[in-house]
Amino acid sequence: MLQEHAKIVDFISTAEGVTGRKKLQKMIYILKKIGVPFQEKYEFHIYGPYSEELTARIEELCDMGFILEQKEDKSSYVQYRYTVTDEGLEFRNALGKPVFENSEHAIQLNGKSARFLELTATLLFFDDLEQDEQIAKLHSVKGKLNFTEEEIAEAFAFIEELKQ
């Protein structure tokens, strides 16, 4: 019961907070793809893999008071920062076993930019394709972002690193 909520709280707590909705979406997706048992269903949207279920779950956790959403005004744009409250920690401890055997993953992902995570998540979305097709597909759906060869190589290396 409420186990899926507890997993999200556990993740945000392990990552020591997450800044940016897009970033949070992509981090959970990447973890799911490497085998962390998140249940949220993902579809391909404007910025790559996106889960409406995850958005709803985060909003629910904010309503429950387990996660704090803070708006950070960056003058030209607004960002959302998510942190776990004391009540959230109590909830996690009461309900869920920790999800992460390797908590470094959460920290590693959190250290990456939203752009890089979008790239990585998008490549993973097309991981049933051969690598050259995967790259062609990336350019076809994300043409405007002009990902460089270096960025793409870095993303592939990062995926391998996570899988180990």
Partner 1 sequence: MDYANQKLAEEKVFKDPVHRYIHVRDQVIWDLINAREFQRMRRIKQLGTSYLVFHGAEHSRFSHSLGVYEIVRRILDDIFHGRPEWDESERLVVLCAALLHDLGHGPFSHSFEKVFNVDHEDFTREILQGDTEVNSILKKVAPDFPKKVAEVIGKTYANKQVVSLISSQIDADRMDYLQRDAYYTGVSYGHFDMERILRVMRPFEDQVVIKSSGMHAVEDYIMSRYQMYWQVYFHPVARSAEVILRKILQRAKYLSGHGYKFEQPPTHFFAFFDQSFTLKDYLALDEGVLMTYFQLWITERDPILSDLCDRFVNRRLFQYVDFDPGKDYKKLGELAQLFQKAGIDPEYYLIDDSTSDLPYDFYRPGEEEERLPIHLLMPTGDIKELSRLSQIVDGISGKRRTDYKLYFPAELLIDGKKKEIKQQILELLREGGV
Site of interaction with partner 1 (CB under 8 A): 1-2, 5, 21-22, 25, 41, 43-47, 50, 55-56, 59-60, 63-66, 74, 76-80, 87, 91, 94-95, 125-126, 137, 140-141
If the CB atoms of residues 144 and 163 are measured against partner 1, the closer one turns out to be: 144
If the CB atoms of residues 53 and 103 are measured against partner 1, the closer one turns out to be: 53
Q: Closest separation between CB of residue 161 and partner 1, Å?
A: 26
Q: Closest separation between CB of residue 150 and partner 1, Å?
A: 23
CA distance 60 to 66: 9
Contact call for residues 24 and 18 (beta carbons, < 8 A): yes
Q: Closest separation between CB of residue 154 and partner 1, Å?
A: 22
If the CB atoms of residues 114 and 152 are measured against partner 1, the closer one turns out to be: 114
